[in-house]
C-alpha cells in the first residue's frame, strides 16, 4: 500500500525556523511535492523535488532523499500567516495512471507571536 507519514502538529514562534518531515512508502515515485492549505481553502503548491537535494523558493525550502524515502519542508522567518496545514504528496505512476498525487497525513503548523 501507499503511506506518507508526517507529524500531526508543530508549534513555533514568529521569526523562527521550522522543519516538517515526511517519510513515504509508495509503489511508484516521480517526485515529492509540498502543499499549504489554510482552513477551508484550496491546497496551494509550494515546492517540488524530483531529485535528491535541496530546492529553495524564497522562505521555503524542500529537501529530498530518495534512498531514505524521506523529505522535509523548511520554513524560515515564520510569519503568522504561515499558520496552516502542510501536506507532502508523492507524485507517481499508480495503477497505470501518471502524475497522480498521494497525500501525506498532514501537519498543522501553529505560529505564535
Q: Does 79 bind other proteins (CB under 8 A)?
A: no
Binding mask 8-47 for other proteins (x = CB under 8 A): -------------------------x-x----xxxxxx--
Residue 97: CB minimum distance to other proteins, A: 5
- How many helices and strands in the chain, by DSSP H and E? 0, 11
**Residue 54, class by beta-carbon neighbours within 10 Å (0-12 exposed, 13-18 middle, 19+ buried)?**
exposed
Choices 13-21, 59-67, 73-81, 105-113; region in contact with other proteins by CB under 8 A? 105-113
What secondary structure does DSSP assign to 87-111, as a single string?
EEEEEEEETTEEEEEEE---EEEEE
Quick check: 51 binds other proteins (CB under 8 A)? no
CA atoms in the 13 A half-sphere facing the CB of 6: 25
Q: Which residues bind other proteins (CB under 8 A)?
A: 33, 35, 40-45, 48, 87, 91, 95-106, 108
Amino acid at each position: 500500500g501507499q503511506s506518507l507519514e508526517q507529524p500531526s502538529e508543530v508549534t513555533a514562534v514568529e521569526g523562527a525556523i521550522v522543519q516538517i518531515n515526511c517519510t513515504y512508502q509508495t509503489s511508484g515515485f516521480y517526485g515529492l511535492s509540498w502543499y499549504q492549505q489554510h482552513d477551508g481553502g484550496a491546497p496551494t503548491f509550494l515546492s517540488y523535488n524530483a531529485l535528491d537535494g535541496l530546492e529553495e523558493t524564497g522562505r521555503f525550502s524542500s529537501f529530498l532523499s530518495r534512498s531514505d524515502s524521506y523529505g522535509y519542508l523548511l520554513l524560515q522567518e515564520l510569519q503568522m500567516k504561515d499558520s496552516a496545514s502542510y501536506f507532502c504528496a508523492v507524485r507517481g505512476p499508480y495503477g497505470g495512471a501518471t502524475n497522480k498525487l498521494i497525500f501525506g497525513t498532514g501537519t498543522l503548523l501553529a505560529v505564535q507571536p
